[in-house]
Amino acid sequence: MQIKQFRYGADNLGYLVFDETRAIAIDAGAVADMTDFAEKHKVTIACVTNTHLHPDHTGSNARMLEKTGAAFLDCTTFAQDQQILLDKEALRVILTPGHTRDSVCFAGDDFLVTGDTLFNGTVGNCFSGDLEAFFHSIKKLVGFPGHTRIFAGHDYVRESLEIAAALDPDNPDIAGYLEKYDPLLVVSTLADELLVNPFLRYNSQAMTAKLTQRNFPCTTEKERFISLMEAF
């Protein structure tokens, strides 16, 4: 199973996941680049889907479907652990409400496509207003192996790491994370995220100290995550 990242718009990232002959387009904003790539690599874009229904992710669905004749998989109808078949392997759907109620992630063999739920360096805004659901979604993601590659829906790396550095100036891992940043391939591992991403570090001393300082509740893991989302 392979994954190819495509940039479009100001900072959006979309993906083709493919094996021998079949590809799935996720957030297909870069229609021409994706179809050119598919043609060159002799794979057929068999289905088009989204990480959630925000227009910067869905805006090119119609054009991609028209150009490829692919099937549309509506992300609001997915079930937890639903499989989307390629030739031999399958992508697995992880329901991750929080950024929006309909947000999903896709688990490949050693990667996650995380949309606007988890970014490289931060997490998405809580448009749905349900921070408790967001916490449970984040818990599902941090349960993956540390080597899992994180492919997000936007490149917010520089601004996110500035915030991370402001919140945790003594964090020795931020500089190394930034050194690895490449706008031509925006990716990190879950292990990297657990070292620098303030919103995944709800159990760290640095974040707990910040919350205590500002009198935010921080007794349980869930409280600390929700407090971090509310405070910063």
- Identify which of residues 7 and 54 has a Cβ nearer to Fe ion in the complex: 54
Considering the rule CB under 5 A, would residue 54 count as an interface residue with Fe ion?
A: yes
Q: How far is the CB of 54 from Fe ion (least distance, A)?
A: 4
Contact call for residue 154 and Fe ion (CB under 5 A): no
Q: Tell me how far, at minimum, the Cβ of 179 lies from Fe ion, in Å.
A: 28
Q: Could you give the strand order of the β-sheet that contains 71-72, starting from the edge strand earlier in sequence?
A: 2-8, 12-18, 22-26, 44-49, 71-72
Q: Which stretch binds Fe ion (CB under 5 A): 32-40, 69-77, 108-116, 219-227?
A: 108-116
Per-residue tokens: 121: 């360096």
Q: Smallest distance, Å, CB 99 to Fe ion?
A: 6
What is the rounded CA–CA span in Å between residue 93 and residue 105?
6
C-beta closer to Fe ion: residue 116 or 193 = 116
Residue 224 lies near Fe ion (rule: CB under 5 A): no
| Matching residue, tokens 């690599």 | 41
Point out which span in 80-88, 115-123, 140-148, 192-200 binds Fe ion (CB under 5 A): 115-123
Give the Cα separation of 49 and 57 in Å (integer): 9
DSSP lists the bridge partners of residue 123 as: 118
Q: Residues 110, 149: contact at Cβ < 8 Å? A: yes
- Contact indicator for 230, 222 with CB cutoff of 8 Å: no
How many of the chain's residues bind Fe ion (CB under 5 A)? 2
Residue 43 identity: V
Q: Candidates 88-96, 114-122, 158-166, 193-201 — which segment interacts with Fe ion by CB under 5 A?
A: 114-122
Using alpha carbons, select from 165, 156, 149, 159 the residue that is nearest to residue 198.
165
**Of 27, 102, 116, 192, which lies in the binding site for Fe ion, with binding defined by CB under 5 A?**
116
Which one, 51 or 171, has the nearer CB to Fe ion? 51
Query: What is the contact surface with Fe ion in residues (CB under 5 A)?
Result: 54, 116
